[in-house]
């Protein structure tokens, strides 16, 4: 379920195993940095794309629950403009800000959040607000890692909002961050504590196992491609499992030509994400049934020119949202208009979850979008004045005793 890839250049190491930072800075200057992401999920998803202005007061944990457990909800005023993808209006899963910082959350079944009784006196942040908080408050990966390294903020469990009638699922996630300086980090919540894995070489992230183990598993496959291997097999694993997708994405990103234009970098990353995507309708031949996660959308973020490209698997849509189209906008929140929703397919999906043709209302978009493709919104997710709906309350009230 889900794959993220960052196209940082290869590092040049000295004899002591340290990489040449001067050489890396030169490479970064000459590289069109992009991050790609596939969102995989068993069911169709209701996606919304927002632009938010800086200066919005926000809160990251429900006040009623904070009061119940004597916890302190994290509150902040956004420092940067951002473009974010939400599930419904409740969970930020991808985002980019005006400093070129990109954040993505992907599923991780090993995530274990703090228990309710452990929240007393702690500053708490709902994991569904993690992406929005990061792109609101930080300009680069180093700042993100500095903010979370001492576990002064406690991540709180939540539920993933769904769109076809099935019960919400526990939001077990880990966070990836990447920036225009070529730095990358993976943050995971294990036994209630945040663990940080930071390196420009951490280009790929999928799901289980936890990231340090994922790196170890991938070393086997890297050895199979290595010229120092006396008997290389030159093989790649082909299933849709997280370690197999990790190995393929790692192989592709480490063995592709570095193109000289941003357009080439964007379409290269888009094609790479398709190469590690999970086809619609793929059956779960191991466990039986049709509930295997399939790629619902793909996105590409450009760290320097600040454009968000989006491809919906079921809409035939591929479009770009340049950050610059919001320059001078007076609205605090803007939402991409939906031309229509396939309500018939939505109803059929509630009855038969094998329906795959549910569109997100984006299929008339193509090319670069303009300001006129967005409409103002007053009810901004996670803002102090956000009016919570019934599904939001359910999301916030999930028992944190989730392992």
Task: Estimate to the nearest angstrom the gap between the alpha carbon of 344 and the chain centroid.
Answer: 29
Alpha carbon distance 345, 339 (integer Å): 15
Alpha carbon distance 315, 300 (integer Å): 17
What is the DSSP track for 255-286?
Answer: SS---SSHHHHHHHHHHHHHHT---TT---TT
Nearest-5° angle of CA 396, CA 402, CA 403? 150
CA atoms within 13 A on the CB side of 307: 17
**CB under 8 Å to 248, separation ≥6 — which residues?**
236, 237, 238, 275, 276
Please state whether the predicted TM-score (pTM) of the whole model is above 0.85: yes
Task: Render each residue's pLDDT in the chain as its tens digit; 403 residues.
Answer: 799 999 988 887 766 677 788 888 888 888 899 999 999 887 777 889 999 999 999 999 888 888 888 999 999 999 999 999 998 888 999 999 999 999 999 999 999 998 888 999 999 999 999 999 999 999 999 999 999 999 999 999 988 876 555 667 888 999 999 999 999 999 999 999 999 999 999 999 999 999 999 999 999 888 888 888 888 888 888 888 899 999 999 999 998 988 889 999 999 999 999 999 988 878 776 665 556 788 889 999 999 999 999 998 877 678 999 999 999 888 999 999 876 555 555 566 555 555 445 556 666 667 889 999 999 998 898 988 765 443 343 334 444 433 3
């Amino acid at each position: 379920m889900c794959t993220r890839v960052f196209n940082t250049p290869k590092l040049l190491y000295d004899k002591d195993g340290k990489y040449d930072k001067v050489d890396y800075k030169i490479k970064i200057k000459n590289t069109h940095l992009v991050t790609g992401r596939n969102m995989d999920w068993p069911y169709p998803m209701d996606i919304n794309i927002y632009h938010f202005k800086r200066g919005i007061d926000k809160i990251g944990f429900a006040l009623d629950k904070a009061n119940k457990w004597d916890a302190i909800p994290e509150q902040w005023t956004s420092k940067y403009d951002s473009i974010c993808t939400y599930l419904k209006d409740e969970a930020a899963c991808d985002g980019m800000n005006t400093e070129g910082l990109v954040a993505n959350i992907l599923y991780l079944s090993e995530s274990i959040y703090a228990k309710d009784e452990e929240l007393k006196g702690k500053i708490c942040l709902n994991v569904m607000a993690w992406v929005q908080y990061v792109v609101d408050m930080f300009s680069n990966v180093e700042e993100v890692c500095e903010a979370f390294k001492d576990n002064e903020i406690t991540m709180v469990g939540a539920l993933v909002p769904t769109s076809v009638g099935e019960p919400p699922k526990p939001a077990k996630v880990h966070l990836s961050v990447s920036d225009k300086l070529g730095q990358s980090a993976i943050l995971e919540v294990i036994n209630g504590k945040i663990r940080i894995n930071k390196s420009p070489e951490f280009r790929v992230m999928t799901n289980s196992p936890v990231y340090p183990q994922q790196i170890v598993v991938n070393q086997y496959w890297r050895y199979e491609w290595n010229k120092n291997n006396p008997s290389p097999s030159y093989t790649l694993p082909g299933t849709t499992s997280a370690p197999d997708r990790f190995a393929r994405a790692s192989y592709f990103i480490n063995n592709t030509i570095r193109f000289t234009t941003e357009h080439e970098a964007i379409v290269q990353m888009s094609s790479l994400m398709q190469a590690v995507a999970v086809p619609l309708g793929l059956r779960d031949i191991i466990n039986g049934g049709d509930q295997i996660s399939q790629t619902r959308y793909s996105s590409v973020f450009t760290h320097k020119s600040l454009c968000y490209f989006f491809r919906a698997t079921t809409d035939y849509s591929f479009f770009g949202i340049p950050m610059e189209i919001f320059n001078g906008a007076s609205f605090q929140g803007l939402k991409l208009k939906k031309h229509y929703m396939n309500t018939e397919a939505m109803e059929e999906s509630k009855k038969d979850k094998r329906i795959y043709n549910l569109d997100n209302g984006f299929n008339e978009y193509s090319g670069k979008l303009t300001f006129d493709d967005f409409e103002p919104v007053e009810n901004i997710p996670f803002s102090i004045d956000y009016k919570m709906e019934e599904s939001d309350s359910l999301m916030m009230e999930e028992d944190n005793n989730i392992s």
